[in-house]
Structure 1
Amino acid sequence: MSNTCHKRRICLTRGSVSACGKVDSVMKGLVFGLYRPLNMKLVLIFVASTLLPLMLTTYIGARFYIERTSEDTGILIDNTLISLSQSLSSYLNELDQLTLIPYYNDDFIYALKVKASESYESLSRYQVLSITNMLDSQLRFVRNTRKDIMSTLIVADNKPLFYSTNNPLNDVADNYEFAETDWYRKAIEAAGNAVFVNPHKQDYFTRTKGETVFSVARTIRDIPSRQPISVIIADANTVVLQKMFQDIDFHVPSHIVLLDEERHFVYANHDVSPALFRTMPDNRSVVSDGGQSYMVIRRTVAPYNWELVVLLSYSALEKKTLWIYVNSALLYIVCLVVAFLFYQGLSRKVMGPVKDIIKTMGKIEQGDFSARYRSRTTDEFDVIGRSLNSMIEELKQKIEVEYVLKLKQRNSEYKALQSQIQPHFLYNMLGGFVALNQIGERELLEKSIIDLTLLLRYILNHPDMTTLEEELTLIEKYGSLQQLRFGERLQVHVSCEDGIRLHKVPKLLLQPLAENAIIHGIEPLSRPCRLTISADTVVEAGVPFVRIVIEDDGIGFDPEQLQEYGQIGLTNTRERLQLCFPDSRFELESAPGAGTRIAIIIPEANFHGHTHSG
């Protein structure tokens, strides 16, 4: 449309919500009230409904599996130890019963008493042979049926009374101090009870002194008098213990240790520091040995008060636990990836229409009312999109109707204001020509009429919007016409920065102000006066402005009595300025005898980004 200041956002009515403001509100509502919070809500829902439950479930599952595995392992170990302790108890009981064989036959006891007595040396050869056969017949059964029994020895003090070994070439070591050995003293102190001897060397025999045996000893006493006769010791091969423990597997590296009632080592399948058992560790506690940690599991071998101890590698147990957590973490990651893919699909399905709606609203904000939302779904967003399209169509129609009406109204106002300027300008100029004619300045009158013709051509034929440079040129021509009339009483100075010369302003914006300064400020005085019109740029609070100043050193006036100082020209200029530059300022300073200064201040941004038509 013609005769417009410049294209800008048009408000429908003052005091009501503007069309552009409505679009902005909807846009902000969608962007800040829906899009970002909805995206965050989807993320929070995904975290709350998927990540946290999945993490919690995975952790609880791992913990449950670990506890279940630990419980099953504990039950397995306990059952194994129960079986082992029962086997050990049975075996120890068998060894215990083995040393009771002498009590099964009174003749056997009598033979031992005779052989242990000092009169034994005076017996005939036949009697000695009879006693020997008696003893051998009783113990031969043990030697032949129990392969684990390596030898049986009966001694009284340091005197061997009888022995039987699985090695026919074996013999008792000469001058062996039996009474000084620990097992002999313990057997005497036990007063007829069995004493189990820790693994030791069979150094009291000549052929097997390097063999390690596990033994049981008992004092043989005379039944009527209960006086000790001798000590019997049965030596068993430690291979029995090895075979008993060798096939046991707890699925982690482990040590099996058998301790007697005094907590001395009876057997260990691996080297273990005795320091671990100086103070018996609690069951299921953790002990360290040479940089290695072990979990202790104990079982008492009844009724002998022995301890069967299993040392499970704690690092291996931790590795098993770590393996479970690693597998749980991998499972969690796989489930997380799958859940994330589902979330991405759902997010795109939800956020895709939202982004399309926001994109459509962005085009509307830029003034493209042909933009429409194209539905890609058949859900609630399709309903929202169709409602949005309907709203845009209604908004477009309303803006077009209101815009045309408002534009016509503004053009009418502008034309009316301009029509006020032209007659007023002509009236003042013709008054000047009459004065020139009266004083007889016909040449000046002729020249003035020619200049007026050029000015009228500019006023009548030039577009409604002109450049600041052209407007200031008009002021210079107008000043030169007035100088023909006032002569040396009027000096006109016009200046403009180069960077703002092409800025567009309404035609005849400054001329009424210059005319007021000459007619009302300078003409009443008889002294020379100066009229200055300048245009430059200033910066206020970091914002650039274009400043146009019309200043004279004329008579001045009281601003409260504005009606006496060109009220029509000032009011006209103010209204035209507000029509084209709503953000501009019109400042007037004056005082009687001090001249008048008028400043028009327009934001620099108002001159950019708009088109001007004429």
Structure 2
Amino acid sequence: MNKETMEKIHLNFKAKLVLMISLFNISLVLCVSFFNYLWHSRQLTRLTINQTQQIIEQTGSNIDNYIDELFRLTLSPYYNDEIMNKIAFIPASPEEALNKKRTIESFLASVMTLPRDEILRVYILTEADIYSYTRTPYQMEDYNVYKNSFWYMEALKANVPVFIPVHAEKAFGEKPTQIFSVARRLRSKDNNDIILGVIKVDADYTGIKSICDKVEFENDGALFVINKNEEMVYEKNDLPESGLWEKLTLPTDNGDFSCRINGEKYIGNVTTLQESELKIIALHSYRSLTSKARGNLSRTVFLAFICIVASIVIFILFIQRFLHPLYHIIRTMEIVQTGNLDVQVPLEQDDEIGYLASAFNTMTSSLKDVIHRNSLLMKQVYEVQYLHKVSQYDALCSQIKPHFLYNTLNTISLLIKCGESKDAILCIENLSCFLRGIMNADKEISFREELSIVSSYLNLQKIRYGDRLSYNLSIGQNTENVSIPALSLQPLVENTIKHCCETSSAPVSILVTSEWDGNNLSIQVLDNGPGIPEETLLKITESLTREETQDALTSSIGLINVHRRLRLHFGASSGLHIVSGSEGTTITLTIPQNISREEGIICTEH
């Protein structure tokens, strides 16, 4: 390979490297900027929707309060005994009738109409006459036939004020005016069974308009108030688009909605007032809401591209210096190809390329010494076998842990669904104790810690099965400090509960004991269950003798995993031994030890 060819490969490699980094950076910046824009836009839109909903709901509450004030205004005659007496009074002459009319209408003008600009007309209607005060040249439409009006008949029957929804009437001219009314039955203060008449108040929308005029949105928007016939009552539009109301299709439910008008996306909120049947609609332009986010996106992309161009320039300037040792290694490899093994690559830097140069030097030295190469190969084979053994051990450990968590979480779920919160809390506390026990310990823990894990597990299962489950931990005191792999005993107890409690309703008793058998620690788990069928027991025993767990019985994977872990950790003299009959099953866990022992027994019963 000549120098010209090497320079060509050199340039191609640099070009590919620069191109790869450039494309990666550009793609990364575009993706980050785009998703950041989406997130920011959605957050801003959701915040605006929530704020707008609160604003229009508060506006609706203010309108309801305003209408409630009108309801309370209809109680004014009750606070004036003279007026109530005049309403009940039956005149005997035209002079008395005229005096009664003047007194009542003067009260209506001074007390009910003059203090409030939005009240247009007030009436007190009796069976014999009408008393009114109006600010308009026109009376109400059903002035002459009020006795046949639905609101009059409904007010006479109702114990509460009657709201007359928004309707159009002539008030100041030929053009109809939007008016809403409230009516209340008047009873005699001396005798509630006597109905004196009905008081009716007509009002325009100046009061509602003053409430809506105070509404200010953080972003430009539009506010509409419509009646149940979808006629416009109030409009406030700060958006550049005009005529939005005519093109807007309202949803049937309250809350937020989105729509498109003339190709432009809008976000809206709507709420309906139950009493007045008015709808309040707020509208925002999506483009206006996200304008700041789009501006931030453009600035971010622009600055990012400037940084990318600068980084590419700097990278090109330094790439030759950084890759120079690599080219030196290539030239040295050409020399080695000729059969000269005495050459060495100088170690110019302590990085990946320096590591490559060092490895190349080691390789050439290894080629010179066959005996050293063979010994190194044997060492590598031994290390591979050891790592395989460790990885197999870790894989077996990871298979055991989820086995218990699944059942525990299922029990907690059932307790919560059944409303047994105390038992659910107790389950969570025991689960916390269990997890704390296995997470704070390494893969090899003391027998005392393992017993704590088993106790937490049995407490969880006792909550699940109640009186059907009882257990006894009879543990030799001298065995508490023995080190064993974590979760060596718990899967045995779990297997017992699974095949005894879950398959039968008979009470189950579990006994856990530990004792010394020479230099071996013997731990036994005994139960009074129906025992393991002979055929199944034979398959389990065969699985325990195999080197791998792939062909193990699915129902006995916990037992087989524990057995494999003990074998991997302590050798062939350790493991499980299972004896089963019609009176129960005994699982013996054997761990070889060489420690001193002291006398004493610790017993725990539940």
Q: Is TM-score (shorter-chain normalized) higher than 0.5?
A: no
Between structure 1 and structure 2, the one with the greater Rg is 1
If the length of structure 1 is used for normalisation, what is the TM-score? 0.44
